[in-house]
Chains A and B, each alone.
Chain A
Amino acid sequence: MPIHDQGYRHYSGDRALHGRGWWVIARHGMVAPLRERRFLALLLFAWSPFAVHAVQLYLGATLVRSAFFVATEETFHTFLSQQRLFVFFITIYVGAGLIASDRQANALQVYLSKPITRHDYIGGKLLTLAMFLAAVTWIPAMLLLLLQILFSGSLDFVLDHPRLVPAITLAATLQVVLAAVTMLALSSLSRSRRFAAMLYAGLVIFAGLLDTVLEGVTRNTAWMLISPQNTLLFIIRAIFDGPPDNVALLGSAVAALVALLIACVLILERRVRAVDVVA
């Protein structure tokens, strides 16, 4: 036919199987912050400790035979601890508006009217934040390990410290999961990104401050359980250094974090719905 139909044509191609919605949401969620120069600058700055440690490893492996420059398990533990600050800022930058902005724009109804489940939605949002957090925790830590192997020219370091890779992975995973799940839950509580950010800042910083004061006064380390951040640090120390003397406290710390994560999941289950009832 010489004249072609200009009307609407129905899509007749392949459709992805159910259950891939989370990846679509995550993919698009990751692209948006990467378009902002401010965020790219923050990510770049978050890799500055990596650069410092890389130089340290180089010096330790080549020029200077000083204990300071020699890599140990503590090097990687210190690195992950230092990245806490960037985890905090990236969590707020990316995470505060993940659900809050959607609630503000009434976009939840749009999302959940598509053939995706609430779990797809939550999973996709979680993955968005988790990927950025992994990019400043697990990835640079593993790259540091790789650099250590490359600079030393042998696998001895990894073979001598067989639990280092699992320790880095577990510690980074805990950092990422705790930050991502908590922030997502707080983001679902409000339509204001700013409000969610301040709730998170309060939970991390204020609780940490209270713990410091109470521990200092009462000399009882159990107060750390009120601070998710300090509880996590205690657990990560146990991962790298082995179980502490007070094993019961370690158990309580793990239980406290698990309880927090369960509470966050329950909040998400309750708050992520297509319909909002306004009294």
Chain B
Amino acid sequence: MSATRRMLEITLGDMLWGRRAVFMAIAAGVPVLLAVVLRVAFASGSATVVVNGSRLNTETMFGTAITLLYLRFIVPALGVYYGTSMIADEVEDKTITYLFVRPMRRGAIVLGKYLAYLVCVLAAVLPSAALVFFIMVPFANMGPLVDTFVRDLEQLAVGIAAYGSLFVLAGVTFKRPLVGGLIFVFGWEPIASALPGYVGQLTVAHYLQTGTAGMLGLVLASAAAVLLAMRTIEHREYVLEQ
């Protein structure tokens, strides 16, 4: 565990102060800006959204923002980018050698980096979503929505863990996992969700929206994916290109 902790500390520094922090900053900041714009537009009366004859207000828009913006784009995109780059970046940059010749299990590298990803992305996305909630929902109307808000945050947290673990496993297993990850998230998931039958169940998005049981299953699957990634890196050879 101490090796994992050390790896976590090193990766945290890299994620927070390196160039990769750009994506987290954009992912966290843009929804907040958007919320401000919408709130101002709604308050000034220049914005109206009518669905099935009923006018939507900002509270309802918050739910849409969580689904459309966070769960369909931000969370999967961050999972793809950071998840696949954890090990694949080190292999491509040939710096993985320095980690492999330290007296620690290779799996600790994966676990430490994954935990750093979790910490950073949760710390970026959850406060962002919370800010969006506080901006879009008038204070007087917050009370009844708190439970929904907490469930939304749980969905986001589980989604971050699930996508991250899936793409960590992809990053450890495949040579160029990013394109495959983007195809899965922006190609397969939207298409499969629209298809009938069991096809939709072959997506992470499906289980994020099927309640507590689905999310619990995702948490367990995430843990299994990380364990499998740790096992894979222990046994796999990485032949670096000369």
Q: CB of A30 within 8 A of chain B? A: no
Interface residues of A in 29-61 (CB under 8 A from B): 38
Q: Min CB distance, A104 to chain B, in Å?
A: 8
Contacts of B176 in A (CB 8 A): 38
Contacts of A214 in B (CB 8 A): 34, 37-38
Contacting pair B41 A217 (CB below 8 A): yes
Name which of A110-118, A188-196, A249-257, A263-271 contacts chain B. Answer: A188-196
Interface residues of A in 185-226 (CB under 8 A from B): 190, 192-195, 197-198, 201-202, 205-206, 209-210, 212-214, 216-219
Contacts of A38 in B (CB 8 A): 176, 179
Cα-based distance from A241 to B49 in the complex (angstroms): 28
Contact of B41 among A192, A195, A212, A218 (CB under 8 A): A218
Interface residues of B in 64-98 (CB under 8 A from A): 64-65, 68-69, 72-73, 77, 80-81, 84-85, 88-89, 92-93
Contacting pair B84 A201 (CB below 8 A): no
Q: Min CB distance, B103 to chain A, in Å?
A: 29
One digit per residue, 1 when the CB lies within 8 angstroms of any chain A CB and 0 when it does not, for chain B 135-171 equals 0000000000000000000000000000000000000
Q: Min CB distance, B74 to chain A, in Å?
A: 8
Contacts of A210 in B (CB 8 A): 30, 34
Q: Number of B interface residues, CB 8 Å?
A: 37
Q: CB of B63 within 8 A of chain A? A: no
Q: Min CB distance, B113 to chain A, in Å?
A: 15
Q: CB of A23 within 8 A of chain B? A: no
Q: Number of A interface residues, CB 8 Å?
A: 27
Contacting pair B81 A194 (CB below 8 A): yes
Q: Min CB distance, B14 to chain A, in Å?
A: 13
Contacts of B100 in A (CB 8 A): none
Query: Which residues of A pack against B, CB within 8 Å?
Result: 38, 85, 88-89, 92-93, 104, 190, 192-195, 197-198, 201-202, 205-206, 209-210, 212-214, 216-219
Could you jot down 14 A-B contacts, CB within 8 Å? A38-B176, A89-B179, A190-B19, A192-B19, A192-B89, A193-B92, A197-B179, A202-B26, A209-B73, A213-B38, A213-B68, A214-B37, A216-B49, A217-B48
Give 4 closest A-B pairs by Cβ, nearest first: A198-B81, A217-B47, A218-B47, A93-B179
